[in-house]
Amino acid sequence: MTKVLIGNIADIDAKGSRTFRLDDTEIAVFRLSDGDVKAVENRCPHKGGKLSEGMVCGQVVHCPLHDWKIDLKSGKVHEPDDGCVTTFETEVDRANGSIYINIRG
């Protein structure tokens, strides 16, 4: 597993997001209201909407195109819709605020 530095917690507002590209994948990084940080592929499985532009409620992001609800922890789409996005394990260094994602491979 490879650990990749992607930014600093201070750069993301609570309930906000930032994006970055890793090879051919755009990743959305969300800072939840409880301070937790989640990262998912920035593409809704329905019509490809940019999840980074969606509204965050708790542990869920709402796709801005058709309001599909995607769990930021598991990547699963809430019923009655169906699908899944790739999730990335995140780590935050609380001493300096650095955010890392772990890449499998």
Q: How far, in Å, CA of 65 to CA of 101, rounded?
A: 27
CATH 2.102.10.10 fits 2-103, yes or no: yes
At a CB cut-off of 8 Å and minimum separation 6, what does 45 contact?
68, 77, 83, 84, 85
Note the pLDDT tens digit of each residue in 13-72: 888 899 999 889 999 999 998 889 999 999 999 988 999 999 999 999 999 999 999 999
Note the pLDDT tens digit of each residue in 71-100: 999 999 999 999 999 999 999 998 999 999
Q: Which band of pLDDT confidence, cut at 50, 70 and 90, is reported for residue 1?
A: confident
